[in-house]
Structure formats: structure tokens, C-alpha cells
Amino acid sequence: MSVATLLTPATSAEPNGRRTGLVARADERSYVRVLVVLDTTVLIIALLIGYVTRFGEGEPTGSDIPYVLVAPGLVLAWLISLKALGCYDDRVIGYGADEYRRVSSASLRLAGAIAIFGYIADVGVSRGFLGISFAVGTVGLEVARFAARKRLHRARSVGAGWSRKVLVVGDTAHVLELVHTLRREPYAGYQVVGACIPDALLAPVAQRLGDVPVVGSFRGIPEAATAIGADTVAVTASGELTATRLRRLGWQLEGTGVDLVVAPALTDVAGPRIHTRPVAGLPLIHVEAPEFRGVRKLVKGLVDRSASSLALAVLLPLIAFIALAIKLDSRGPVLFRQVRVGRGGQEFGVFKFRTMVVNADALLAELTARNETDGLMFKMRHDPRVTRVGRLLRKWSLDELPQLVNVLLGQMSLVGPRPPLPSEVARYDGDVARRLLVKPGMTGLWQVSGRSDLSWEDGIRLDLYYVENWSLAADLTILWKTFGAVLNGRGAY
């Protein structure tokens, strides 16, 4: 697609741009106030639980500590600790894991400081009361933040809620790529409201870059941000934006309330693998190589096999009930074993509950023309080969429970890329083949991000992101999100 076709005349300018930015700031402050109220409520409840658990409903005996004064002081100190560690910073709230890490860190640091102060000053505050209060309070704060974030994400997904108003600056191709990336996850809270492009591409009439209005060139970025009410300027790659011009842009934005964000060309690399090293005033981004072996891999394998053993024992009655339902619903075996490709290209038999008629493979050729997905997979929302019980099993992902046996045998992991068919692997190019560097998983980023509703390209992107950036913490997060994805049922067919 040429630049001429991308830059089309704009039908109208962005109305009330400055007001849009003011409303966004007001929504942000309102969200922060809600967090403060939630945190305060959680802390009061936590201290009440700690007091009642330790002392019952009566007064503590043998102590002259005025807990009626200690409790409010502890709530205030806790809130100050949260504030000091940036738990209300608009750059971390609402998206990413940093918010949760800061909340936990603030709580643990305060607990440590109180323990040290109590030991040095010989203050007789009950350690049981403090221990219970901090344990309940820390967990409660995390849960409250999670609930507030989910509500915010739902609002952002429908175009409401607090979001940053972003002015994207860069070459046309890079601007379009960044816009696509930001819109791929609207719940992250970055709403593109305009773009600035190089002077050479600017036309005398109003333009749009795709559906994004072009509001100026590199010469008037601060003015353009003010005109459309943007509170964030996101700079992407451009040959005209030299280091000197970018530094001057930062100076020009000082005191305006507009944040400057630089989007590097490096994408789909998680934070723990990125380290910034200043060299001669130049911030060099050091990217660590992905880890495909070592102690962490051994721990992951141990966790996989232990968890799968426990899950099989707990879910045995459910597995037996599903097997009986399949047997009564249609003729054929209960289990379906299909050859898939695992780590290093090794083939293995993946176990699933049978959800289709016994001659499903023979009927596939007749349905190929009705494929509803792109890429190498076959997906059909109303596949006539699926049985009545099979539709229910697929809706709740119960057909995949037998894969716990594959995890126990070391052929699969609880979390990983989707296990591909040999026919798919035969058509892989060099990049896609990197999916085979780790074990396939029962669940993964593809499942918690939409499953069958995802395009082939997005599914591969998520799989490769996991391969490059996996961690035990990320696995726990994906497992947690899997329960929500299964209950929601979106993309399951």
C-alpha cells in the first residue's frame, strides 16, 4: 500500500480536543480516588480481622497498648507507604504487573519497618495482630486492585473509562504499526487521537493516516498535542527525529502535563529481558537471550508433573462422569488420540475426550471450503461433526482434561504454545518453527486471549511471545486467566 493511499483527506477535525484531554485527566483522578477508598476500606477490614482473630471481641488483657489509636495510625502509615512506592502513579495503575508488585512491596516494607521499630523501641504491639493484619491486608489490596482493574478494562474495551489520549509521531509505516499495536489491546488504555508525520508528507489539505487524523508535522508537536487534547506523545521510528530533536521535544513538553513515550523498534520482548545501560549519555537497551534450559526449566517441569498428578486425582470423578456421558451420547471410543508435534519436532499422541463423530477425519475434505479461519488451521463455528456432548465439552474446554496425562508423561506443559499438527509443522517457515523450542501447553496466551476467535497471525504472535519471554510468574498468571476464559466461553468452538 502506498503512502498516497494511506494519507486520505480528513472529513473533519477532532472537536473539543482540549476538553477531551481535560476529561481524561478528570477520569484518571476519579479512578485514583476510587483506589484510595478501596485501599482504605480493605485496610480497615484487615485490621478488624486481625484484632478479632487475635483478641476476640473483648479488650486485650495484660497490655496497655491503645489499639483504638494504633489501628488508624497503621492505616495512615500503610496508605503513605503505598503512595511513596508509586502505587497511585498513573504510569503503572490499570495495566501490567508492576502495580501488583508495588502494592506487595509497599506492604512488606512497612511490615519490616514496623517489626524493626517495635524491636528497637520495645513496643508491645501484638505480633499476632500485626501478622494477621498484614497478611489479610496485602492479599485484600491485591484482590481489590484486580477487581478495579477488571472493571476499568471492561469500560475501556467499549470506549469508556479512563484512557490516555495519545498523539503518535513518526514515519507513516511506523505510525500505522504503533496504532495497530495500541488498538490490539484497548484495555491497556492508550487511545490514539492524532498523528504527526514528516514535513515532506504533509499536504495542504486535512489528511488521515488510515482513520487517524494527521494534525501536524514534526515542527509543531507540542502545539498539535495541545490542540487535540493529547496527554501523551508517543514517538516511533523516523529518520528525521534525531537524538537532538527528540531531546528538544522533551524540553518543549516540560510543564505542559504531556508525557513523552518513546516506542522502540524492538517489540514482543518482556520487561525482565530488557535492561537499559546509559553509555556516554545514550540509553542502550540490552536484551537478554531467551532461556530454553537450566534450573528454571527443571522447576517448571517439576511443577507441571506435580500439579497434573494432583489435578488428575481431584478431577477423577468429573473425568469418569464425562466419559460416561460421551459413551451414552454417540458410538465410538471415549478418548481421541491424535498425533501432535512437541518440543524439538518430536511427535507424540495427545489425549482428548472425543467431541466429534467417529468418521470426522473422512468428512473434513467436504468441509474445507467452509473454513472460518486463516492460516494453517481448520476452524468452523458450527461444525456438523461435533456431537451434542462434544459442544458442551468444547464450550467449557473440558475435552482437554485428558491432556493432564500428557503433562504427567513430560510430553506437554500446563502452559505453552498450542500443540500443532504434523501437517501444520510441515508448512512452517523459520520464524513460526520457533514455537517448537518449548513444550506445547494445555493452555497459553492464545487461550486467554480469545482462542478460536484469534486470527492465525495473532495466534502465532502470542505463541512466539510466550516462547521468548516465558517465566514461572507468567505461567501462574496465564493459569489464573484461563479460569476466566473458560467460564466466559469466548472463542470456544
Integer-rounded Cα Rg, in Å, for the chain is: 27
* C-alpha separations of 311 from 392, 439, 444 in Å: 21, 19, 18
| pLDDT tier at 238, thresholds 50, 70, 90 | confident
Other C-beta atoms closer than 10 Å to the C-beta of 343 total 19
Is the pLDDT assigned to residue 454 strictly greater than 80? no
* C-alpha separations of 423 from 198, 340, 378, 379, 427 in Å: 46, 9, 12, 15, 7
Which segment of 137-141, 142-146, 276-280 scores lowest on mean pLDDT?
276-280
* C-alpha separations of 127 from 107, 112, 115, 294 in Å: 16, 12, 8, 40
Which segment of 8-17, 119-128, 310-319, 336-345 scores lowest on mean pLDDT?
8-17
CATH of domain 163-265: 3.40.50.1980
Is the pLDDT assigned to residue 346 strictly greater than 70? yes
| pLDDT tier at 457, thresholds 50, 70, 90 | confident
Domain locations in the chain as residue ranges: 20-158, 163-265, 295-488
H or E segment to which residue 111 belongs? helix 98-121
pLDDT 10s digits, 129-139: 889 999 999 99
Is the pLDDT assigned to residue 95 strictly greater than 70? yes
231 contacts 25 by C-beta, under 8 angstroms: yes
Q: What is the mean pLDDT of residues 353-373?
A: 67
Nearest by Cα to 195 from 164, 146, 230, 160:
230
H or E segment to which residue 234 belongs? strand 232-235
Nearest by Cα to 33 from 88, 105, 108, 110:
88
- State the burial class of residue 344 (Cβ atoms within 10 Å of its Cβ: 0-12, 13-18, 19+): exposed
Which segment of 38-52, 261-275, 416-430 scores lowest on mean pLDDT?
261-275
Higher local confidence (pLDDT), 474 or 402: 402
435 contacts 417 by C-beta, under 8 angstroms: yes
